[in-house]
């Protein structure tokens, strides 16, 4: 009821102020004739870690504001795409998620953990309609009188604090990076002197859809380099689907590096049901995707769009529906009903003209005396999760790597810390100093001729440990409470918060640089709860300590 009241009240407010908003927009458009884009308004919003974020662009950073709801699947998909991108965490890009549905702080913290990216700032406002008003102010800049927006609603702001682009709905990381490159002019256009590669016009253009796998990862239908994609739409309750997956799982080609198999459950089975279904086949080389809630734009919708490429408006279908997509991302074949593994591999070989359907015996070539030098790909998507005395690094698996080497940049050079096996794509550095700055890197390696071959470049990041917890003392007085604490090593400042009951949400009082604070105008004989969190700012990111709660009764 509270949310609905604020939303209704705000819409009434927007209708009353609409002429003024329209006039203001006109003034901004006129100003934009002299500069590109629209002047960006400045708002200060609260984050889940008790600090604040300004919508004003930082120097040398492009800002991406993502307005959305924790309950919106399109918002979640877009944020997960951003979190899994290879550009999130770049020093010249700032991403701010702004929850516009009055979600409380604890819900927002859980949601941030679900997205799994501490490179994104998460803002919330569970007690008023401030964020809603901010979003609709940007909405009026976007389309004057429009007050209905599709979430996520994304605003791209350049380094000069000018709004350059508005976007609505689900976005891929590639599409967002393309728009960011247009703003900064850092794209990589094709060298005009380079010959243009021939265009593959066979089949149909493949439209990208993002599905969710049973292990919570994003799976794109877009073809990956040097792989044929087998996209199988089916039901967990369908005998034909089970028979086809059984054939694939037992084939001698499943797991080949040039073939990718995705099963997409289109009958809205839950994650648990789809996971149980996957276990029947005992094959981890197949990616299993599910879509329990998203009817429009999800697996069900994508299936019929693929079917329409071959049957037009005829939606009659026998499950499973199998789509074959070649290495150039062109949809080549569509099959309905049970398929054997032999039939599938035959069709895959037809698509890849370099292979014949029934290859005859070939004369083995003599083994070269000197093996071809191997190359190892660079580590990608390196991330850090900070504790008070430790930092956990994680990264994406590098194909054909035998292991990884972890380095620390110290005394102006890289020093090896440890080596991990290929099966391990994370490493925790322990016994670190709290509130301190660090730089780490990871390289992949494999062995040739008893020598270690390393990836070409260090993949590195700057990070820091969290400050230690504040040792807080609170002294009650007449109508006030005095907070004192000792200085925390490495802390940039301190955030003072309080609440009026054990179950209430924390309210931020102030960020301070000192080691004391007095809260006045408190009610006599009433109990209050206080805390102080130390925070450290490094390379545009904030690291916040754990905290203690102190309970006092005012005199």
Burial class (CB in 10 A: 0-12, 13-18, 19+), 198: exposed
Whether residues 394 and 298 share a domain: the answer is no
CATH code for position 279: 3.40.30.10
| % of the chain beyond a pLDDT of 70 | 84
The answer to whether residue 155 scores a pLDDT higher than 90 is yes
Three-state secondary-structure class, residue 354: coil
Strands 286-290 and 210-213: what pairing? antiparallel
Mean pLDDT (the chain, rounded): 83
How many domains in the chain?
A: 4
Whether residues 9 and 91 share a domain: the answer is yes
Q: Between 260 and 317, name the one with better pLDDT.
A: 260
Whether residues 441 and 487 share a domain: the answer is no
Asked, for residue 189, whether it belongs to a domain, the answer is no
Three-state secondary-structure class, residue 220: strand
Residue 314 pLDDT class (50, 70, 90 cuts): low
| 245-259, 309-323, 462-476: least confidently modelled range | 309-323
**Beta carbons within 8 Å of 161's beta carbon, 6+ residues apart:** 39, 40, 56, 57
| 108-117, 426-435, 521-530: least confidently modelled range | 108-117
The answer to whether residue 555 scores a pLDDT higher than 80 is yes
Burial class (CB in 10 A: 0-12, 13-18, 19+), 39: middle
How many CB atoms are located within 10 Å of the residue 394 CB?
16
CA distance 56 to 157: 9
How much is the average pLDDT of 398-420? 89
Asked, for residue 138, whether it belongs to a domain, the answer is yes
How much is the average pLDDT of 446-472? 89
Which pLDDT score is estimated for 147? 54
Per the structure, the complete domain to which residue 165 belongs is given by 2-184
Whether residues 67 and 121 share a domain: the answer is yes
How much is the average pLDDT of 65-87? 89
Asked, for residue 365, whether it belongs to a domain, the answer is no
pTM value is: 0.37
Read off the pLDDT of residues 322-354 as tens digits, 9 standing for 90 and up: 999 998 889 999 999 998 989 999 999 888 864
Read off the pLDDT of residues 277-310 as tens digits, 9 standing for 90 and up: 999 998 899 999 998 765 545 788 888 888 888 8
The answer to whether residue 418 scores a pLDDT higher than 90 is yes
Last residue of a domain, one of 464, 480, 510: 464
Asked, for residue 196, whether it belongs to a domain, the answer is no
Which range is most confident: 69-83, 114-128, 289-303? 69-83
């Amino acid at each position: 009821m509270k949310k609905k009241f604020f939303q209704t009240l705000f819409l009434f407010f927007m209708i009353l102020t609409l002429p003024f908003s329209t006039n203001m927009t006109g003034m901004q458009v006129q100003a934009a004739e002299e500069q590109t884009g629209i002047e960006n308004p400045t708002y200060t919003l609260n984050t889940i870690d008790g600090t604040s974020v300004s919508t004003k662009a930082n120097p040398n950073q492009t800002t991406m504001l993502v307005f959305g709801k924790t309950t919106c699947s399109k918002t979640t998909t877009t944020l997960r795409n951003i979190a899994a991108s290879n550009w999130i965490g770049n020093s010249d890009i700032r991403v701010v998620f702004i929850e516009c549905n009055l979600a409380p702080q604890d819900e927002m913290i859980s949601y941030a953990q679900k997205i799994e990216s501490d490179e994104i700032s998460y803002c919330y406002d569970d007690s008023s309609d401030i964020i809603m008003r901010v979003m609709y102010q940007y909405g009026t800049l976007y389309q004057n009188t429009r007050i209905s927006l599709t979430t996520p609603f994304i605003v791209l702001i350049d380094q000069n604090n000018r709004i350059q682009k508005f976007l609505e709905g689900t976005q891929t990381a590639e599409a967002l990076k393309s728009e960011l490159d247009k703003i900064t002019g850092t794209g990589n256009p094709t060298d005009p002197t380079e010959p243009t590669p021939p265009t593959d016009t066979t089949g149909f253009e493949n439209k990208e859809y993002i599905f969710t796998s049973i292990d919570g990862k994003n799976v794109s239908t877009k073809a990956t380099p040097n792989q044929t994609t087998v996209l199988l739409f089916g039901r967990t309750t369908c005998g034909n689907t089970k028979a086809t997956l059984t054939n694939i799982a037992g084939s001698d080609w499943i797991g080949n590096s040039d073939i990718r198999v995705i099963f997409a459950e289109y009958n809205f089975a839950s994650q648990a049901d789809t996971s149980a279904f996957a276990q029947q086949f005992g094959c981890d080389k197949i990616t299993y995707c599910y879509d329990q809630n998203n009817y429009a734009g999800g697996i069900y919708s994508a299936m019929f769009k693929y079917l329409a490429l071959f049957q037009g408006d005829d939606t009659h279908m026998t499950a499973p529906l199998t789509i074959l997509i070649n290495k150039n991302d062109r949809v080549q074949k569509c099959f309905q009903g049970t398929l054997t593994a032999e039939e599938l591999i035959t069709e895959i070989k037809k698509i890849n003209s370099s292979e014949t359907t029934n290859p005859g015996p070939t004369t083995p070539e003599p083994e070269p005396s000197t093996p071809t030098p191997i190359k190892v790909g660079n580590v990608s998507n390196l991330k850090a999760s900070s504790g008070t005395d430790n930092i956990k690094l994680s990264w994406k698996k590098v194909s054909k790597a035998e292991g990884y080497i972890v380095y620390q940049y110290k005394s102006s050079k890289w020093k090896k810390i440890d080596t991990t096996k290929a099966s391990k794509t994370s490493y925790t550095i322990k016994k670190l100093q709290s509130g301190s700055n660090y730089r780490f890197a990871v390289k992949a390696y494999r062995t040739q001729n008893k020598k270690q071959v390393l990836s070409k470049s260090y993949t590195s990041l700057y990070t820091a440990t969290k400050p230690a917890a504040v040792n807080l003392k609170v002294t009650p007085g007449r109508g006030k409470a005095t907070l004192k604490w000792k200085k925390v090593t490495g802390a940039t400042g301190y955030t003072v918060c309080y609440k009026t009951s054990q179950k209430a949400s924390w309210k931020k009082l102030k960020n301070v640089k000192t080691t004391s604070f007095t809260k006045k105008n408190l009610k006599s004989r009433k109990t209050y709860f206080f805390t102080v969190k130390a925070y450290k700012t490094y390379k545009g990111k904030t690291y916040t300590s754990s905290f203690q709660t102190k309970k006092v009764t005012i005199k």
